[in-house]
Chain A
Amino acid sequence: MAILDDLKDIIVDILDVQAQEITEESKLVEDLKADSLDIVEMLMQIEDKFGLQIPESTAEDFKTVKDVVDYLEKRLQEK
């Protein structure tokens, strides 16, 4: 679950929430109170951290933490 942990670190940093509040089911906007600029910043940090580019069209489909984790797992396997 290294990906989830790394993602949690990024979310904690940007959204100022407690790590234990974050689950795979957490919704980025509704539960974690991310706004559009937070999400852009989060994606930038994810790209930095995992060394990949995330197309904007894909990013728009991220609703929950799990969506991001699944996407990252898939991309990292392709690598």
Chain B
Amino acid sequence: MKRRRVVVTGLGVISPVGNDLSAFWDNLIRGKSGVRSIDKFDASQLSTRIAAQVLDFTPENYINRKDARRMDRSVQFACGAARMALEDANLTITDEIAERAGVWIGSGIGGLETMEDQHQNLLNKGPGSVSPFLIPMMISNMAAGQVSIMTGAQGPNGCTVTACATGTNSIGEAFRFIQRDDADIMITGGTEASVTPLGMAGFCAMKAMSTRNDDPAGASRPFDRERDGFVMGEGSGILVLEELEHALNRNARIYGELLGYGATADAYHIVQPEPSGDGAARALALALSDAGKRPEDIDYINAHGTSTEINDAMETMAIKRVWGDYASEVAVSSTKGVTGHMLGAAGAVEFMAAILACYHNLIPPTANYMIPDPACDLDYVPNQARPKLVRAAVSDSLGFGGHNAALVVSKYLG
């Protein structure tokens, strides 16, 4: 049976380095960090007091005030990014296509800020003071629900929740819906807004985050020997995926073709990656084989590259395992040096970076890469963007729980 082909026709982003696609891409290319001291609440008691926060976000630019009030910040981000992605795709969900248009948007954590606010109400004022909107604002599926309400998309709808792999798994599942002929259009990606007192305290307790508080811009340094943990980010990346003929029939601009998806589990530990990188390697290999690509067909890998000691070394091993002799030839970068770790949104904005690298033949650098680490010995495109022909690119994500996922995109050449 001939496989239905899936292309990317729209991109929208709310990020710590810009709330539109051009600012986001420009800052990725310049390697300009969005990390700064936390200013939205008093972080003075935390061991990590820095984060990559979304700045100057006005929900009313995308959604009416009443709807915005009933949304957690994470859902507002998703609605903003989804609206931009549809505009970028020059696509309106009309009655004719509504039932063939779906939404699949995940969040790693969900409406944490809402939960914290309402829990405060519960403790201070009692159960009668808990908002009737607590539950519909907090639950992780609500970004997908609200985007369908906002756009009118009535097709497959839901979310995949796999911690830091959420964005990648969500896009992969959306890809399958179109391949399986359940939909012609999918609005998909991830969203996150967990830079909150509880979210920060939880990750601080795990000692997973950088404590380079006096150098926010240099704190997220993937693959660098001096890396000391990830930096929490927030935001949303939303893509419009479209069946190829559907896109061609309406003369849509095509960024690239989504060719392959692979997903595996480590089956090893709740938060530590399996040290040999086997689970990640299998996800990468599955995505390549799904795409019908060999390692040497890939010119760029946007790595998960969290800037934690274990992840970056393990992921390097996983890439070497799959790419073999070609591993030293492929350009690998982690854009988390710029965006921080946007958790459930990370996979989505990073897949966008891979798509744009392919579209523009320009590879975004790994920011803050200064000192090589013997355990990380690939070409990480340090600090300077690299103009290079990118025929096809890979983006991978690895999440707490041992979830591994990878996507393959190529230029659309007809």
Q: Which residues of A contact B (CB under 8 A)?
A: 14-16, 37, 40-41, 44, 47, 53
Contacts and interface: CB of A to CB of B under 8 A. Distances in A.
Interface centre among A40, A44, A47 (most CB of B within 10 A): A44
21 contacts: A14-B66, A14-B69, A15-B66, A16-B64, A16-B65, A16-B66, A16-B69, A37-B70, A37-B132, A37-B133, A37-B136, A40-B132, A41-B131, A41-B132, A41-B133, A44-B128, A44-B129, A44-B131, A44-B132, A47-B128, A53-B128
Contacts of B65: 16
Contacts of B64: 16
A41 B66 CA distance: 13
Interface string B59-95: 0000011100110000000000000000000000000
A44 B132 CA distance: 9
A40 B70 CA distance: 13
Contacts of A37: 70, 132-133, 136
Interface string B103-146: 00000000000000000000000001101110010000000000
A35 to B, nearest CB: 10
Nearest to A53: B128
Given A44-B129, A47-B128, 11 more contacts: A14-B69, A15-B66, A16-B69, A37-B70, A37-B133, A40-B132, A41-B132, A41-B133, A44-B128, A44-B131, A53-B128
B137 to A, nearest CB: 10
Contacts, number: 21
Contacts of A16: 64-66, 69
Nearest to B66: A16
B126 to A, nearest CB: 11
A40 B69 CA distance: 15
A37 B135 CA distance: 11
Nearest to B64: A16
A37 B65 CA distance: 16
B76 to A, nearest CB: 15
Shortest 4 CB-CB contacts between residues of A and residues of B: A16-B66, A40-B132, A37-B132, A16-B65
Contacts of B133: 37, 41
Contacts of B66: 14-16
A33 B307 CA distance: 49
A47 B125 CA distance: 12
A40 B129 CA distance: 10
A15 B70 CA distance: 11
A17 to B, nearest CB: 9
Nearest to A33: B66
Contacts of A47: 128
A1 to B, nearest CB: 25
Nearest to B136: A37
A2 B301 CA distance: 65
A9 B193 CA distance: 30
Nearest to A36: B132
Contacts of B70: 37
Contacts of B128: 44, 47, 53
Contacts of A53: 128
A37 B129 CA distance: 13
Contacts of B69: 14, 16
Contacts of B136: 37
A16 B129 CA distance: 21
A40 B135 CA distance: 14
A10 B348 CA distance: 39
Nearest to A44: B129
A40 B57 CA distance: 29
A53 B126 CA distance: 13
Nearest to A41: B132
Contacts of A15: 66
